[in-house]
C-alpha cells in the first residue's frame, strides 16, 4: 500500500508484556487469517456474519479484508505493562521490561515491527509514578543498548488515566531528563494520553481539561485514546451498560473532538470487550462444535463491527483490538464504511472539482469549500487504510500527487496555477 503523509493507523492492538515476543506480529496475522478462513470462508459467510447484503460492494470488501490480513494485519501495537500485564512484583516487571526490550530489538532487526509501535506503562499518578518511570527507563536503556541508540519507527509511549495538566508537566520534565541520560534527541519521546477519567475532560474549575493537558505536553502528545470502561465505571454505570455506544461515551468523544481539533493530536476510540472466542477450543471439532463456535464468533464480530461503524460515523478513525480475531471486523467495518460511500463521494468530489470556482449542487446536497475538504479527507483516510485503491482515487478526479497535498484549497490553487 502506498502511504501518504501523516498516516493514522486505524487500530492499535494491545498485548500483555509477559507475552510479547519478536514474532508476536507474525503470530497475530496467522491467527487472524486462520479464523477468517474458518468462519468467513467465502463471501456468503462473510456477509452473513456482518449482516451485509451479498453484492458487488460486499465482494470487494471481502477481498480487500483478505488482502489486508495477508499483507499488513497489524498497523499499530502496544506492549502493555498496565491492565494487560496485571499486578506483579517489582522484580517481575523489571525482568519483563528487559525481555520486552530484547524482543523489540530482535523484531527491529528482522523488520517485523508494524508501522506504529510502542509500550503502555502504568498511570503517571500517585503510587504508580515511580514504577511507571522505572519500567520505561529499563525498557529504553536495554533497547538502545541493543540497537546502537535507535528507537523503533513511530515509537509511542502510552500513559493511562491522565487527569491533569500538572501530571503531564511532570511527565514531560521526566522524559526530557531521560532523553539527556540516554543521549536521545530532545523531544523524541512521543506520547499518547488516555482519556478515561472525568477530570481529563472537565477540571475542577469547570474548564475543558484537554487543551490544558495538550499544552502541557509541549509538543510530545501524538494521540489521545478514549478508555470507555474506566470512564463509564467512574460514572457509576453498571457492567451491562458499559458499552462504546453508551450516551456518556458519545459525550466524552464529542468533548475530545471539540477540545483537540486543530492540535494535530490523533483521536482513537476504545475497545470492544467481548472476545470472538468459541466455547470449544480443540483443534479437531465436530460439525456441531464448529457451528457452536461459529455462532459465538459471528455475534462477537458483529458487535465489534457495529461499534467500529459507530466510531467512524462520529469521526473516530482508530480504535482498539484486543484479540487477533477482532482484526476481521476491524477491517470489514472500516472498508465497508469507505467503499459503501465511495460512489457518492466520488461523484460529489468530481463535480465540485470541475466547478471549483463556485459552489455546486449534487442531487440535494449543497457543496462548498468545507465540503470539498471533507470529501478530500474521506479519500485520504480511505486510501491510507487500504479501503480505496489508486484507480478509485483517479475516478474521483484526483491524482495521488494532489491527494498528498492534503488540502482542498491547495489542490484548487495548484490547478489554477497550472492553467496560467
Q: Which three cell numbers stand for residue 211?
A: 487543551
Query: Does 189 have pLDDT greater than 80?
Result: yes
**Residue extents of the structural domains in the chain:** 11-337, 341-419
End-to-end CA distance of the chain: 34
Q: Give the pLDDT band of residue 407 (cuts 50, 70, 90).
A: confident
Distance between CA atoms of 64 and 265, rounded to whole angstroms?
A: 28
Q: Report percent pLDDT > 90 for the chain.
A: 79
Please state the separation of Cα 270 from the chain's center in Å: 9
Mean pLDDT estimate for the chain: 92
Q: Give the pLDDT band of residue 26 (cuts 50, 70, 90).
A: very high
pLDDT score, position 364:
54
Neighbours of 278 (CB within 10 A): 21
Q: Cβ contacts of residue 300 below 8 Å, gap of 6+?
A: 272, 274, 275, 276, 277, 325
DSSP string, 95-136: HHHHHHHHHHHHHHHTT---SEEEEE---SSGGGHHHHHHHH
- What's 189's DSSP letter? -
- What's 125's DSSP letter? S
Residue ranges of alpha helices (H) inside 279-407 are: 287-313, 327-340, 342-354, 369-384, 390-395, 400-405
For range 98-126, the mean pLDDT: 96
Query: Does 239 have pLDDT greater than 70?
Result: yes
Q: Which three cell numbers stand for residue 272?
A: 470492544
Q: Give the pLDDT band of residue 96 (cuts 50, 70, 90).
A: very high
Say which residue, 204 or 37, is predicted with more confidence: 37
Q: Give the pLDDT band of residue 359 (cuts 50, 70, 90).
A: very low
pLDDT tens for each residue of 273-331? 999 999 888 778 888 999 999 999 999 999 999 999 999 999 999 999 999 999 999 99
pLDDT score, position 406:
86
11-16 and 221-226 strand pairing: unpaired
Distance between CA atoms of 334 and 87, rounded to whole angstroms?
A: 35
Q: Report percent pLDDT > 70 for the chain.
A: 95
Query: Does 5 have pLDDT greater than 50?
Result: no
pLDDT score, position 145:
98
Neighbours of 387 (CB within 10 A): 25
pLDDT score, position 412:
80
Q: What angle do CA 151, 153, 157 make, to 5 degrees?
A: 70
Say which residue, 279 or 176, is predicted with more confidence: 176
For range 1-26, the mean pLDDT: 85
- Of 154, 161, 24, 171, which is closest to residue 100 (Cα–Cα)? 24
Q: Give the pLDDT band of residue 367 (cuts 50, 70, 90).
A: low
What's domain 11-337's superfamily in CATH?
Malate synthase, domain 3 (3.20.20.360)
The structure's pTM equals 0.92
Amino acid at each position: 500500500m502506498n502511504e501518504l503523509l501523516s498516516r493514522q493507523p486505524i487500530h492499535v492492538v494491545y498485548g500483555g508484556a509477559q507475552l510479547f515476543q519478536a514474532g508476536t506480529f507474525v503470530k497475530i496475522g496467522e491467527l487472524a487469517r486462520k479464523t477468517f478462513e474458518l468462519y468467513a470462508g467465502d463471501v456468503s459467510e462473510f456477509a452473513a456474519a456482518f449482516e451485509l447484503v451479498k453484492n458487488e460492494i460486499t465482494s470487494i470488501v471481502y477481498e480487500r479484508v483478505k488482502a489486508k490480513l495477508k499483507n499488513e494485519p497489524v498497523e499499530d501495537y502496544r506492549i502493555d505493562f498496565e491492565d494487560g500485564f496485571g499486578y506483579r512484583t517489582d522484580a517481575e516487571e523489571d525482568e519483563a521490561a528487559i525481555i520486552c526490550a530484547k524482543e523489540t530489538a530482535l523484531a527491529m532487526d528482522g523488520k517485523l515491527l508494524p508501522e506504529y509501535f510502542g509500550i503502555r506503562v502504568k498511570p503517571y499518578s500517585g503510587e504508580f509514578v515511580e514504577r511507571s518511570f522505572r519500567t520505561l527507563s529499563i525498557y529504553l536503556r536495554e533497547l538502545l543498548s541493543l540497537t546502537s541508540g535507535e528507537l523503533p519507527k513511530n515509537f509511542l509511549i502510552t500513559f493511562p488515566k491522565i487527569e491533569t495538566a500538572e501530571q503531564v508537566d511532570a511527565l514531560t520534565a521526566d522524559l526530557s531528563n531521560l532523553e539527556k541520560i540516554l543521549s536521545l534527541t530532545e523531544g523524541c519521546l512521543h506520547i499518547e494520553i488516555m482519556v478515561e477519567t472525568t477530570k481529563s475532560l472537565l477540571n475542577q474549575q469547570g474548564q475543558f481539561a484537554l487543551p490544558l493537558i495538550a499544552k502541557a505536553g509541549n509538543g510530545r502528545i501524538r494521540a489521545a485514546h478514549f478508555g470507555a470502561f474506566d470512564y463509564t465505571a467512574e460514572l457509576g454505570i453498571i457492567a451491562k451498560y458499559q458499552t462504546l455506544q453508551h450516551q456518556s461515551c458519545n459525550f466524552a468523544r464529542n468533548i475530545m473532538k471539540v477540545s483537540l481539533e486543530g492540535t494535530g493530536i490523533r483521536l482513537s476510540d476504545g475497545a470492544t470487550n467481548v472476545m470472538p472466542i468459541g466455547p470449544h477450543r480443540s483443534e479437531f471439532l465436530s460439525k456441531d462444535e464448529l457451528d457452536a463456535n461459529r455462532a459465538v464468533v459471528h455475534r462477537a464480530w458483529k458487535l465489534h463491527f457495529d461499534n467500529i461503524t459507530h466510531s467512524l460515523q462520529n469521526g473516530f478513525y482508530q480504535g482498539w483490538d484486543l484479540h487477533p480475531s477482532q482484526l476481521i471486523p476491524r477491517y470489514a467495518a472500516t472498508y465497508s464504511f469507505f467503499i459503501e460511500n465511495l460512489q457518492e463521494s466520488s461523484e460529489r468530489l468530481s463535480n465540485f472539482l470541475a466547478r471549483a470556482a463556485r459552489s455546486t449542487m449534487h442531487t440535494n446536497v449543497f457543496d462548498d469549500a468545507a465540503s470539498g475538504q471533507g470529501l478530500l479527507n474521506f479519500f485520504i483516510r480511505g486510501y491510507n487504510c487500504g479501503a480505496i485503491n489508486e484507480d478509485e482515487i483517479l475516478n474521483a478526479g484526483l491524482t495521488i500527487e494532489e491527494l498528498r497535498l492534503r488540502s482542498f484549497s491547495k489542490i484548487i490553487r495548484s490547478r489554477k496555477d497550472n492553467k496560467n
